[in-house]
C-alpha cells in the first residue's frame, strides 16, 4: 500500500501570500492612481502614462521589498541552523536532552522519549530533527527571496494591467465607472479565490478587500478632483 500523502493548506501560505498581496496592490494602487489623475481633468494620454509608470514602478518596488524581506527571513533561518549545527557538534549530550524533553512535553513518558530521541539522533539526520522540533524549520525548504520577488512583481503587474487597460480602452464617458467597477469586481474575485485556497471564510475575505479597495479608490478620486479644481 502506498503511503498516504496529505496536503495541508499551510504549505501554500508563502506563495499565496506573495501572489495575493502583489495582485491586490496592483489593482488598488493602479486603479486609484488612474482614477485620481482622470478626476483632475488630465488628458487621456497623461492618465495612461501615469498608470504605466505606476505599473512598472509598483512591480519593481514590490519585487525589491519582497526580496529584502524574505532575504532577511532566510538569513535568520540560516543563522538558526548554523547555531544548531554548532551545538550538535560541541554539546551533543545537551542537544539530546533537549530533544528528549521536547518529546516528553508532547506526552511521551521519559523513558520512551529518551529512546525516541536517541534513535533519531543515531539513525536519522540530527540537524533535520532538531531543526524541525526546536525551530520549526525544514533545511530543504527555507524561504526563497528570488521566487517571492518574482511572484510579487508578476502578480502586481497582472493586477495593475486590468484597471490600466480598462481606463485606456473604455469609452470616455464610461472610463471612471468601468475602471472602478472592474477593479472592485476583480478584488472580490481575488479575495474569494485566496480565501478558498487557504480554507478561510470567503465572505469575510471578500468584504475585507472590497472595503479597503473602495476606500482607496474613492479617496484618491476625490483628491484628484479637488486638486483639479485648485490647479
Residue 129: inside a domain:
no
Q: Residue 73 falls within a domain, yes or no? A: yes
What pLDDT is attached to residue 6?
Answer: 47
Q: Is 122 a domain residue? A: no
Would you state the pLDDT for residue 228? Answer: 78
Query: 17-29: per-residue pLDDT in tens?
Result: 677 778 889 999 9
Q: Structural domain of residue 55, as residue ranges?
A: 13-80+144-226
Residue range 132-146: average pLDDT? 85
Rounded CA separation 133/99 (Å): 8
pLDDT at 17: 67
Least confident of 83-92, 124-133, 166-175: 124-133
Band of the pLDDT at 15, cuts 50, 70, 90?
Answer: low
Percent of the chain with pLDDT strictly greater than 90: 43
| Residue 140 banded pLDDT, cuts 50, 70, 90 | confident
The arithmetic mean of pLDDT across residues 138-152, rounded, is 86
pLDDT of amino acid 166:
94
pLDDT band of residue 12 (cuts 50, 70, 90) is: very low
Instruction: Give tens-digit pLDDT for 34-51.
Output: 999 999 988 999 999 999
**Does any domain span residue 158?**
yes
In a domain, 4, yes or no: no
Q: pTM, whole model, 2 decimals?
A: 0.77
Nearest to 183, CA basis, from 173, 175, 195: 175
Mean pLDDT for 138-151 is 85
How many domains does the chain contain in total?
A: 1
Q: Which residues contact 196 (CB under 8 A, 6 or more apart)?
A: 202
Mean pLDDT of 2-10: 46
Answer yes or no: is 99 within a domain: no
Q: Which pLDDT score is estimated for 3?
A: 45
Other beta carbons within 10 angstroms of residue 127's beta carbon come to 16
Query: Could you give the CA distance from residue 99 to residue 112 in angstroms, rounded to a whole number?
Result: 12
The answer to whether residue 89 is domain-embedded is no
Residue 199 within a domain? yes
- State the cell numbers at 221: 478620486
Q: Which of 200, 203, 205, 209 is nearest to 10 (CA)?
A: 200
Amino acid at each position: 500500500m502506498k503511503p498516504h500523502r496529505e496536503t495541508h493548506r499551510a504549505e501554500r501560505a508563502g506563495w499565496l501570500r506573495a501572489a495575493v498581496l502583489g495582485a491586490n496592490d496592483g489593482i488598488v494602487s493602479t486603479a486609484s492612481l488612474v482614477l485620481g489623475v482622470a478626476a483632475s481633468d488630465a488628458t487621456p494620454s497623461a492618465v495612461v502614462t501615469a498608470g504605466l509608470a505606476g505599473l512598472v514602478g509598483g512591480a519593481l518596488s514590490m519585487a525589491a521589498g519582497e526580496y529584502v524581506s524574505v532575504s532577511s527571513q532566510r538569513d535568520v533561518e540560516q543563522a538558526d541552523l548554523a547555531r544548531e549545527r554548532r551545538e550538535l557538534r560541541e554539546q551533543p549530550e545537551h542537544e539530546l536532552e533537549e530533544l528528549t524533553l521536547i518529546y516528553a512535553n508532547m506526552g511521551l513518558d521519559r523513558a520512551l522519549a529518551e529512546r525516541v530521541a536517541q534513535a533519531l539522533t543515531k539513525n536519522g539526520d540530527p540537524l533535520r530533527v532538531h531543526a524541525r522540533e526546536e525551530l520549526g524549520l525544514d533545511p530543504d525548504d527555507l524561504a526563497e527571496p528570488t521566487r517571492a520577488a518574482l511572484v510579487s512583481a508578476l502578480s502586481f503587474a497582472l493586477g495593475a494591467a486590468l484597471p490600466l487597460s480598462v481606463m485606456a480602452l473604455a469609452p470616455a464617458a464610461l472610463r471612471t465607472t468601468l475602471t472602478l467597477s472592474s477593479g472592485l469586481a476583480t478584488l472580490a474575485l481575488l479575495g474569494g479565490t485566496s480565501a478558498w485556497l487557504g480554507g478561510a471564510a470567503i465572505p469575510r475575505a471578500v468584504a475585507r478587500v472590497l472595503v479597503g479597495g473602495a476606500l482607496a479608490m474613492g479617496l484618491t478620486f476625490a483628491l484628484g478632483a479637488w486638486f483639479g479644481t485648485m490647479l
